[in-house]
Structure 1
């Protein structure tokens, strides 16, 4: 029923549907990925199924057809590359893109070695690269499937082994010939599979290939193999000419051996018959009747042998036709690959093992500003680093320097080991990043200067108002005190606004450090209750604390966390007209976090407004909803402070019932 619904949706929208399994236990990260995929600008539509644990992901993969998996390495029931390994065991052919919070190249490469297709760091610009990475992974999956279809279409028995005789790939014909499946053969030694021995078979041609790095062909008649085979082994060499593996092609020559035996038998019989004819000739007069009889027998035998030879010839013609058909399939596959490369919007350059350009697509011609005839036969000129993305500068014929992202992979091109370089023009992106960097520096300098310039006269005004209110400059009547009270509150509000702007500017520019010292979270909560009780009592609200006494002493910046919690509690009191505000502490489910929550009985927040809470200068609408006031920076600053502690902050709300803000602090320091 689910697939039928997806098919109908595809017809109605006119878009290609991609079924994505998102495995992410962090609600904020999950919503970020879902938002990016939902806003895809290309003619595709993503159908997303989100789960928060490995066990849920395994259940989904076992019962539903997904096209790709987006996988967080830190799940409640699994972590690290073991998570990738588990997913690959369930579905070894599904592309896996790892989403990690660790900007660690080693972690990404280790994940890829264990079955991942690619990896992305969450702190990177996912808006720009996530969809492209997903589509690229699906394209590579399709290319891999086409390669395997071609590989399995070969009627000869073919497998690929590494230099230690371990089978790494096997086609369908080979697996069926030994009554097995390709996945059951891969990882085993070839001599264990074919000859049931613990060491290489003495007559194995791959031993010769291993020794002299040349192709060898041998006829194999092992009693453990029920059919005679003509085996050819060819070496696979790295860039330095060192052996890294070999291709093993075995051809069933049963019919050929039968035909050869038939010819040998016929020749033998013909020789015997000739001898008989010679003897018969010598005794022609005496044995004329016997000679006639022998002659007739000879004709009969020749007819029979001729028929047998004709049949053998037909079998040979059929085999030749099948081989030609296979060659046609291979040419068609190569033609399809050329079409994909020619139509690719990124520049594609194919280079041979000597670094000479053998092919460029139209996008590469445009990137270099030169026609293919100017590029073909030239030296590539860039470092040939495989399976890594690097930035390089090239020269456009008329436009000057062009910055590109380059990724190289090894391919087989026209029967030779070659290298495909994908070149993506990022010049405009780099220029935009540089302009943005300069704009942010100017903004930061202006905010810092303006805030400091405002603070000096504001301090004088604040001190002057204090002296007047305390009647050090003379007695005041009630009306004067009321107006001065309004001035004092607005001066304090302006001071808080300036402090918020300065704090935000420091966080934005990375100039605010955190002083990580051992502190007691519960003590901070108690101090804030004592500080904020007068404000809550003034509004008739109960300020309640619920503390978990089992939580340990942990490292955090006491002043910064006090600032965060004070801001949240102050907002809760400000936006609550009646009822209570509750501050609670608990130990997280995974025993490595402390969770602090602030709940109120206020009007609540609409679901569509929750994502706006932590935006800079963002305030919710007035009226019957939460009230406005302040700089609109408090929660944005709080989020950045919590992020400085390698932790998270979020809000939950139900309109009409209240709002709860949560943040967590790690018990063990995260790096």
Structure 2
């Protein structure tokens, strides 16, 4: 056909070039082919095409520089350019748009999708071609997009507001609507320069809205950018079939979405400028151009309509079957336990699966374009590889073993099956290798051979070895029994300390206290003094037992912190109140003081352990202070909480100060009373503070007094949640197990929230959180509340599939509660799950999956 649209393909792979050319020729396009960037530029000068398909990876000059040269020339910049790449969209988009490309697509996409993209771009470039045929050149000028009207339709209010704010910052006039009806009205009122439609809506879908808008001739020229939930092929095809000029996934970075908007608006600007120039032509010229334009457009649409009517029904059915099969095959290859390598007919690698990357150490980008000879170990002969190549080029399957080399130089064994891949015409287009790592098997075989040789040569010693093994086994059994006895003795000792000593001591103390208080009769002064000393020594013995048990647990790493939020001020006040009630300080003439930087100072710590630290420090101060005061001060600093226990006691010498936290070391500070205890109290305090991630220090001056200071880090809720995810992942990695984190969000339906008061609403939120918490049966499962409407659950030894089962159980219990309370229409519960290692190998990857914005706020 003399008036067919002309397409230039610049591609150095003969196989792919031929396949694409055949597909386009079957659609009545005229095709020109170039094998390099230089050849392509020469062909453009000699015979400008209507559209250019440009590969990124080219010899000498690569695709991006070629695209820049085309777009920098005013004679050729109107020609649409599609970039072909093997990379994913997010990685190619910025470079492609910066180079001036009108679109880009993955080379592995179906040919039907590539042809649809070409059709869409050629429709947009009709005006540009007519303008070029008249040899009218628009002088280059700075294009300003500020003030352009953009209509944005989405019923996801959060996403709508985020995108609107970003576009307003860039200087656009942004109008937003949440329904299809509102969109139709706004288009009629404002005539926007660009419309952004969300593909999936609760009422009319974006595709329906797009079709309705383009039914009216006055709005046909308004470009539409479709916002798809993901970048799936099915959603892209639906968008183009509805008449969208382009589409982009909501999951893409906002910067990439804005680049797409700029690209569309610049093309629209260029087309409008050409229309302005066209209106300046004479009447005869205009009639001729309009006639040619109408004739060409009618002809093209007639051809396309005829082709589409023939293929549409068949394509829809075949596409659904093919895409489902493609998804299954893709998942099978991606998740396969064997390596899969696909090469072109020249042996250049075009695809490798994740198992290949894991085994060889080569990144995906490093492997692409390489010849498998880079894996040679040098242990196979040239004849070996020659026979392999002759077999597969003859169309046969080759099977055999390779001794190959990884990127780090390590050798490994593979059993491979290499087969040719043919197209519908029976021509070989690719080779596929499926290879199993048999390194361990080969090692085992070698080990078996060596073992067999050793067994054969040492058969005479078998009986002797057997006797020795029996004797060793007997000794091992006896030793094991001894160890079991020791373990039982140790457990019995701990049990005796915790029960046999504590229980009688409690009874003795109670009896002595009753005698001392005169409950059992009057006692004289001498008896009272004796009983007082006895009571003090009983308490001292109890403290010694507790200290010994605490230090043994700390050194064995068996102390677990049960962190929670609580008010440290109230803890200190309660401790001081207890000492005042016991009259320990006033009896010595010592004043107990407190000093706080605020009425409440919240800390995230183990309440019982912190009480133990404070009580121990106050006891220590009372022991060595004869007069003056003891002050407990708590200060809430910017990133920490600082607690000080100061006294006006005898102080500590400089020599003793450096050993103050060494266990079993006792310091009198000065000759006199106070030398008693285990020497473990301060050691335990410091260890407990450090277990919290804090520090403990001491300042003292002999004869003046002592100040013990400990600092606790102040955690934000985000730090607490990140630490929970990180520690769960580390434990899973150590145990070679899975780990999952689940975020549950409870949203109220806006139209229903006003029907209940705030207290009732919060009560229901708490009840829903409790239901989720109680579903977690294992002690290792944890739940952390985030405000009133979110709950983070960590699930050790749980993969993604198992986490979904837990989610289903939680949803079932919550729905039972909501149905019972008639609240199903009031609350909406959402879940997000991130699993290690399937969703990422770093805690940051899991965090970003749970909180896509990076922080706690959505």
In the superposition, the TM-score normalised over structure 1's length comes to: 0.35
